[in-house]
Structure 1
Amino acid sequence: MDSGNSTVAAPGADSGSRRRVPRGEIQRQGILDGFERLLEEIPARDISVKDIADAAGIKRPNFYFYFESKDDVLGELVGRAWDDWARTIGSYYRRAGESHVAYFDRVFGLSYAAWLRREHVMVAGIQATGYDDKLRARWTALVADLNRHLSAQMGRDATAGLITPVSDDHGALAASLTDMIVMAFFKDRSLKPSEAESARMLSAIRAIWLGAWGVEGVA
């Protein structure tokens, strides 16, 4: 089994400034990339560890040096996709001068764009929550953190008199809205309708979300 201690030179740098990348780091990333490529053609449940190892260009036993199971690989891919999205939106706080429409478009419009970029990972991740306890726990923690921030923002805006949410239970309201949005994205990326239909879905979700938040002046 490869111990992962050997290194190779990172490309794109001269010999005097190259970063020595551990071979294990390269192989680990190869596993992640290989699995994500496979997801474009095969449902996650039908992908074997051997399939992933072959896609990564490593021997099957070497896979277990980096991951315990294929579901661990999927869990990391989901976490990375979520982290990429979080970095893209920048903050869950509504910015100074940012309308609630613009706030929705930034948080959930960019979220949908992230689903488009990593749709196979996100769809597989949602499906895996039904049978993998570790991934379910990871997904639940990620969504709970999002809902905590949304609920706090709703509370701040309600206290400031800027909105009148349809429920005083801001936590439950934020969680219900997020569940609706996630399942809408999941259905959209599973069925892959036309761009026009996806745009209609986003528009409907925006209207429901703004209405539930009690944003004045929005029909």
Structure 2
Amino acid sequence: MVPGPSATEASDAIGGRRRRIPRGEVQRQVILDGFESLLGRMPVADISVKDITDAAGIKRPNFYFYFESKSDVLGELVGGAWDDWAETIGSYHRRAGESHSGYFDRLFGQSYTAWVEHDQVMVAGVQATGYDDKVRSRWTELVDGLNSHLSEQMGRDAEAGLINPVSDDYTAIVERLTDMIVMAFYQDRSLKPAEAESARMLAALKAISLGAWGVTQ
């Protein structure tokens, strides 16, 4: 019998008290951790459900209680990495008094940090968008949300006379910049060059982005 998420089997210490962790939460995380550990040893396309259950130390029916496929596992891992980044930056919009230079440092500097921390997941996620409809859909949803916020910010800044974008099609500018940044991060995390080379890459992306936004101050 597959255990349901209402069962409990573990606890952790929070604020001096112990909280019971639902069994389902533990098992779900075991599956996610098992999949992520495999990404360091084999290409994502080669990973099977059996590989995941073996790595997680669970039976196959337990896997399907929580996930329909390995695509769902990868999609959740990518979403989790994205959520960590979003929580770190605090807001997609430029804050009061924040320069555009500081804005890009906060958004894309922190984004790169998230890629470094979750590089195996993010690289696998980008690779899977080429052949997996579920992962592609999840990735597109996340990127579209980001681009929407950035386009809105560009529009507000242009209307306020703070920038002079290279085109009136703000959405197209933002989409192409995001595509460029994702591919640059993907290549960087795939090759893992020296830190100096990564720093040059980040500086170039920032310069191109500021130029496309038409930042004059």
Both structures adopt the same fold (TM-score exceeding 0.5) = yes
- Whichever residue aligns with residue 11 of structure 2, its letter is A
Moved over 6 A (4+): none
Q: CA RMSD in A?
A: 1.6
State the 1:12 CA deviation.
2.8
- The alignment partner of 1:18 has SS state of strand
Conserved in 2, the CA contact under 8 Å of 1:2 and 1:62? yes
State the 1:176 CA deviation.
0.7
Gaps spanning 5+ residues in structure 2: where? none
State the 1:19 CA deviation.
2.5
For 2:134 and 2:62, the matched residues in 1 are separated by: 22
Paired position in structure 1 for 2:87: 87
Paired position in structure 1 for 2:7: 6
After TM superposition, list the pairs within 5 Å mapping 1:103-142 onto structure 2. Answer: 103-142=103-142
For 2:204 and 2:192, the matched residues in 1 are separated by: 17
- Whichever residue aligns with residue 191 of structure 1, its letter is L
For 1:204 and 1:9, the matched residues in 2 are separated by: 48
For 1:65 and 1:130, the matched residues in 2 are separated by: 27
Paired position in structure 1 for 2:76: 76
For 1:23 and 1:212, the matched residues in 2 are separated by: 50
Paired position in structure 1 for 2:54: 54
For 1:77 and 1:96, the matched residues in 2 are separated by: 33
State the 1:65 CA deviation.
1.1
- The alignment partner of 1:11 has SS state of strand
Alpha carbons of structure 1 residues 82 and 13: separation in structure 2 relative to 1, 3 Å: closer
Alpha carbons of structure 1 residues 158 and 8: separation in structure 2 relative to 1, 3 Å: same
For 2:17 and 2:206, the matched residues in 1 are separated by: 49
Q: Does 1:22 align with 2:22?
A: yes
State the 1:64 CA deviation.
1.0
TM-score, normalization: structure 1?
A: 0.94
Conserved in 2, the CA contact under 8 Å of 1:9 and 1:18? no
Conserved in 1, the CA contact under 8 Å of 2:151 and 2:171? yes
For 2:19 and 2:203, the matched residues in 1 are separated by: 47
Gaps spanning 5+ residues in structure 1: where? none
Q: Does 1:177 align with 2:173?
A: no
Paired position in structure 2 for 1:160: 160
- Whichever residue aligns with residue 69 of structure 1, its letter is S
- The alignment partner of 1:12 has SS state of strand
For 1:100 and 1:17, the matched residues in 2 are separated by: 44
For 1:17 and 1:159, the matched residues in 2 are separated by: 52
TM-score, normalization: structure 2?
A: 0.95
Conserved in 1, the CA contact under 8 Å of 2:10 and 2:23? no
- Whichever residue aligns with residue 19 of structure 1, its letter is R
Aligned residues with identical type, % of pairs: 72
